[in-house]
Amino acid sequence: MAKYTPMIEQYLRIKADYTDAFLFFRLGDFYEMFFEDALKASQELEITLTSRDGGGTERIPMCGVPHHSAQNYIQQLIEKGFKVAICEQTENPKQAKGVVKREVVQLITPGTVMDGKVLDEKDNNFIASVTDFEDGTFGVIYSDLTTGESKVTLLQGDWIDVIGELYGLSAREVILRDDIEQHVEKLIKERIPVTISHEERVNTPEGLENLVEGLEQNKLRKTSGRLFNYLLRTQKRSLGHLQPVEYYQINQYMKLDLHSKRNLELVETIRTKGKKGSLLWLLDKTITAMGGRMLRQWIERPLLKEQSINERLSIVSTLLEQFFEREGLRERLKEVYDLERLAGRVAFGNVNARDLIQLKKSLEQIPDILELVSKLDHSYTTKLVSEIDPCSELREMLDEGIHEHPPLSVKEGGIIKDGFHEALDRYRDASRNGKEWIAALEKKEREQTGIRSLKIGYNKIFGYFIEVTKANLHLLDDDRYERKQTLSNAERYITPELKEKESLILEAEEKSVELEYEIFLELREQVKQFIPSLQALAKFVSEMDVLQCFATISDEYGYVRPEFSKERKVEIHSGRHPVVEKVMHDNEYVANGCLLEQGREILLITGPNMSGKSTYMRQVALTAILAQIGCFVPAEKAVLPIFDQVFTRIGAADDLVAGQSTFMVEMLEAKNALTKATQDSLILLDEIGRGTSTYDGMALAQAIIEYIHNEIGAKTLFSTHYHELTELEQMLSHLQNVHVRAVEENGRVVFLHKVQEGAADRSYGIHVAELAELPAPLIERAKMILADLESQNQQVNSEEVSTIDTMEPSEDKQLSFFVAENKVKEKELKSSKQENNVVEALLQLDLLEMTPIDAMNELYKLQKKLKNN
């Protein structure tokens, strides 16, 4: 570095410690970036790239942003997943000997951002840390720095399970050990959009021991220690608002893997990745930002404990019955700001006077909220009210100390009320009386000189002055006037009397502003003492907000309270898909029931595309999730078991980023369900096997159904286009056929969207293609081919052997589909004439010149000939 200037050498030394971040290097009124940072930042921020002489042989790339508008640029980088290290001047340039001292005062990352547009008020901004232990367990902790909440758990499994947990949290950043394997980082980045950081230290930092006192296992303490060391190293300030780490067990909640959360569109849609169209979008009638965040957490973690679920449901029921209390609560909540994040800003030291006024206004609503909640006829809410500290003392202190409409800056005065601080009142009195004296002096000078336009003014450079226009200068004959400044059309003067008063007034104003800032800092420190109470109050308000939200939704859309069955029974009468029902607006939603009970564990669903099979399957899962988060459900009646897990394979989105085909994704998601489901789980499988050849797909589908039936026993909804599988109803005692009805009218298909018992009679595939407006000649040709195939099929005699047969587990047996095929072949051998015809026709086919569809049609015809025989 010797070839560079001292300032560039300083930059390079600091940058060496922050190689994975943009270094915002303070130079005067700008944050500058050099070398690779400048090249990359100029592209990402679309700002001008320049260069400067740095002492070397070549000019150094450089770009910069004004310090007063840097926040906008920082937000842009954070939104894109980058990190920004803020390097400030730490000494006065006038007093510096050589290069001004500089150091990084904060590292801003996607998981540690505290304010700005990057934060969605109703979304947590989680940063997570994962510690992998030698015995195969993983410690996972997540924290929201803006609210101070932290939760930790241990899980068994592999990195895929860890990724599922991180996906459920929507973590923006994850911290791993320094020497983590590259393939692990690659796997995480492929699956979820997250920034990866590193921290090696795992011992609990000094001063934060109280946060892990409740954690008995050393693994949990180490997991938490990695996160806290990273936060201290990057934020370089107080973390006093962090709440004690809460331990949770994975099996406390319904398990929803990455695929199920995505397929069921719980918090975002598959196509747009946005909130609109998701279950969260439908349910979110919360009033406060805190309630919105808690609602999302509840949706992603449905409960398993029936007592806790019923507790929530009973409060929702009470709120439904007590309309006026519910509406009163909603009105009061509208005046409550984000207590959690306000407390975080207080601890972090970036709160201003306007934030404290928001805090005061929020606290003013708490007595009314407590009174309304206490009127609810429920033991749980009564207990909650008795435990809450309304922070009356803090409210009174803020009311007495802070002006109602303070300025945004905390260093320019105008924040503290009169009468709050004796010394500040004295300074203000001197300043105000001095200004009154100035006004009296101006009047006196006008009378003495006879100059009506004479005025006394002030500016920061010259202080107070008497200004006289040049046309009136001849009226000044007093030696008291000392010229101070000459203007184009006036002269400015000072008198001994004015000079004396000026020093008193300016001293009072300067000391007033300084003292007011000190008082504000003291006030902020006093507010810090109330942070635990504010966080408890925020949790109470959030919970009541979510519960009133459930009651409001249930009232508006006609939801009913679910019942829970010990016999693992699913009995839904006139169930609806909550989101689809809302999106349809004026169109009447066709409700459908669902019955799964002992001896009826699997529903095999057939019916044409677009008929509503996937919607029906999703609505059953969403009904179960709504019930287990404590919300009423869209049905006339719902009796449900408590599901421990929900597995889904719905949709055909390829995982191309990870290099996996549709069929591979199908198989991986199916494997996840088949290896982890229990008899208390819910499995939804939509058209498994369609991603491969017909025979392979049908064989796999049948084998999967048999495995679930014989080995797992989970409640299962299985939709398929393989109509041959409907014969399994005769072979598997716990399987029942149902279908979604459709009828043909005037040559066009009409979907009735009604689920009925039995198998579908046909698929209406060509009619669906016609609705999709495929070319008319193509549709006509397809109808001709279909008619030809159906006429051949009608010739099949009654002795035709079914291609479906159940399979008994045996090492020396193939899949039942192929066993059945061998039986067909044995029958075919009895007619050598027909066989010879088929073989001859097969030999004459030029397969290399045929399209796949032509080949399939020809093979289909040959197969029918063999079957007819």
Query: What is the chain's alpha carbon radius of gyration, rounded to the nearest angstrom?
Result: 37
Query: What's the confidence (pLDDT) of residue 693?
Result: 66
Q: CA separation (Å) from 574 to 265, 599, 636, 823?
A: 22, 22, 6, 44
662-705 confidence digits (pLDDT tens)? 677 778 778 888 999 999 999 999 888 776 667 788 888 899 99
Which residues, 6 or more positions from 787, have their beta carbon under 8 angstroms from its beta carbon? none
> Could you tell me what percentage of the chain is helix, strand and coil, using 3-state DSSP and rounding each to the nearest 5?
45, 20, 35
Place of tokens 């300032």: 7
What are the tens digits of pLDDT across the range 411-430? 888 899 999 988 888 888 87
The CATH classification of domain 126-252, taken from the options 3.30.420.110, 3.40.50.720, 3.40.47.10, 3.30.1490.20:
3.30.420.110
Structural tokens at position 641: 């078991």
291 is in an annotated binding site: no
Positions of E strands within 53-210: 60-66, 84-89, 102-108, 126-132, 137-144, 150-156, 173-176, 195-198
**Average pLDDT value for residue range 288-306:** 95
Per-residue pLDDT, 767: 63
- The pLDDT value recorded for residue 408 is 84
The answer to which of 49-63, 292-306, 749-763, 852-866 has the lowest mean pLDDT is: 852-866
What is the Cα–Cα distance from 857 to 861, expressed in whole angstroms? 6
Residue 614 in marked binding region: yes
Using CB atoms within 10 A of its CB, is residue 196 exposed (0-12), middle (13-18) or buried (19+)?
middle
Helix (H, G, I), strand (E, B) or coil at 129: strand
287 burial (CB, 10 Å; 0-12 / 13-18 / 19+) is: buried
- Give the sign of the dihedral formed by CA 71, CA 75, CA 347, CA 211: negative
Cα–Cα distances in Å, from 519 out to 355, 504, 516, 525?
16, 22, 5, 10
Least confident range of 181-185, 259-263, 370-374, 750-754: 750-754
Say if residues 464 and 552 touch (Cβ distance below 8 Å): no
**What is the band of 510 on the pLDDT scale with cuts at 50, 70, 90?**
confident
- Whether 125 has a binding-site annotation, put simply, is no
Question: Which residues sit opposite 467 in a β-bridge?
Answer: 455, 492
Does the pLDDT of residue 653 top 70, yes or no? Answer: no
User: Residue 748 belongs to what H/E stretch?
Assistant: strand 748-757
Assess contact for 719 and 606: CB atoms under 8 A. Answer: yes
Instruction: Determine the pLDDT at residue 849.
Output: 61
List the one residue out of 287, 390, 407 whose CA is nearest residue 356: 407
> Domain 6-108 - what CATH class?
alpha beta
How do residues 603-638 score in pLDDT, each as one tens digit? 999 987 777 888 999 999 999 999 999 999 999 999
Q: CATH 1.10.1420.10 residue ranges in the chain? A: 284-391+530-557, 422-524
For residue 851, the model assigns a pLDDT of: 62
pLDDT tens digits for 89-146?
988 888 888 889 999 999 999 999 887 667 888 899 999 999 999 999 999 999 999 9
The confidence score (pLDDT) of residue 802 equals 42
CB 16 within 8 A of CB 6: no
Of 155-169, 297-311, 470-484, 779-793, the range with the lowest mean pLDDT is 779-793
Q: Bigger pLDDT: 511 or 825? A: 511
CA dist 331 and 287 (Å) reads 9
State residue 722's pLDDT score: 83
**From CA 272, how far away is CA 269, in angstroms rounded?**
6
In 399-537, beta strands by DSSP E: 455-459, 463-469, 482-486, 490-494
Residue 764 has pLDDT above 70, yes or no: no
The ranges of the chain annotated as CATH 3.40.1170.10 are 6-108
Query: In the CATH hierarchy, which top-level class contains the domain 565-573+584-763?
Result: alpha beta
> What are the counts of helices (DSSP H) followed by strands (DSSP E) for the chain?
27, 27
Q: What would the mean pLDDT of 371-383 be, rounded to a whole number?
A: 91
Supply 452's token pair. Answer: 């009506």
pLDDT at residue 820 is higher than 90: no
| pLDDT in the model for residue 541 | 96
747 Rama sector, left if φ>0, alpha if ψ -120 to 50, beta otherwise: left
pLDDT of res. 119? 82
The residue type of 297 is Q
What residues contact 661, with CB distance under 8 A and at least 6 apart? 654, 691
| 612 annotated binding-site participant | yes
Q: pLDDT tens-digit profile of 192-201? A: 889 999 999 9
Topology classification of domain 284-391+530-557: MutS, DNA mismatch repair protein; Chain A, domain 3 (1.10.1420)
- Tell me the three state secondary structure of residue 168: helix
C-alpha–C-alpha distance, residues 602 and 583, integer Å: 29
Where does the pLDDT of residue 270 fall: very low under 50, low under 70, confident under 90, or very high at 90 and above?
confident
Give percent of the chain above pLDDT 70: 87
- pLDDT recorded at residue 801: 40
User: Residue 686: which H helix or E strand, with range?
Assistant: strand 682-686
The CA angle 51-56-57, to the nearest 5 degrees, is 90
Q: Confirm or deny that 763 is annotated as ligand binding.
A: no
Element at 534 (helix H, strand E):
helix 531-557
Is 613 labelled a binding residue?
Answer: yes
Q: Are 601 and 705 in contact (CB under 8 A)?
A: no
- CATH 3.30.420.110 in the chain: give the residue spans: 126-252
Rounded CA-CA distance 417/520 in Å is 11
Report strand pairing: 173-176 vs 592-596.
unpaired
Pairing of strands 602-606, 715-719: parallel
Indicate whether 770 pLDDT > 80.
no
CB atoms < 10 A from the CB of 768, how many? 17
- Distance (Å, rounded) from C-alpha 277 to C-alpha 62? 45
Mean pLDDT of the chain, nearest integer: 86
Q: Is 791 annotated as a binding residue?
A: no
Specify the fold of 422-524: MutS, DNA mismatch repair protein; Chain A, domain 3 (1.10.1420)
For residue 33, what pLDDT band results from cuts at 50, 70 and 90?
very high
- Tell me the pLDDT band of 775, cut-offs 50, 70 and 90: confident
Q: Is the pLDDT of residue 773 over 50?
A: yes
Is residue 778 within 8 A of residue 786, CB to CB? The reply is: no
Across the range 801-820, mean pLDDT stands at 39
Task: Establish whether 611 is an annotated binding residue.
Answer: yes
Cβ-Cβ contacts under 8 Å for 807 (sequence gap 6 or more): 702, 703, 706, 813, 815, 816, 819
Dist. CA 737–CA 726, nearest whole Å: 6
C-beta of residue 505 within 8 angstroms of C-beta of residue 438: yes
| pLDDT value at residue 271 | 83
This prediction has a pTM of 0.80
Give the C-alpha separation, 194 to 186, whole Å. Answer: 11
Q: Checking DSSP bridges between strand 60-66 and strand 30-34, what pairing results, if any?
A: antiparallel
Tell me which residue of 103, 114, 118, 116 sits closest to 348, measured CA to CA. 114
Q: Is 422 buried (19+), middle (13-18) or exposed (0-12) by CB count in 10 A?
A: exposed
Using DSSP, state whether 51 is helix, strand or coil.
Answer: strand
Q: Does position 778 have pLDDT exceeding 70, yes or no? A: yes
pLDDT band, very low/low/confident/very high, at 400 (cuts 50, 70, 90): very high
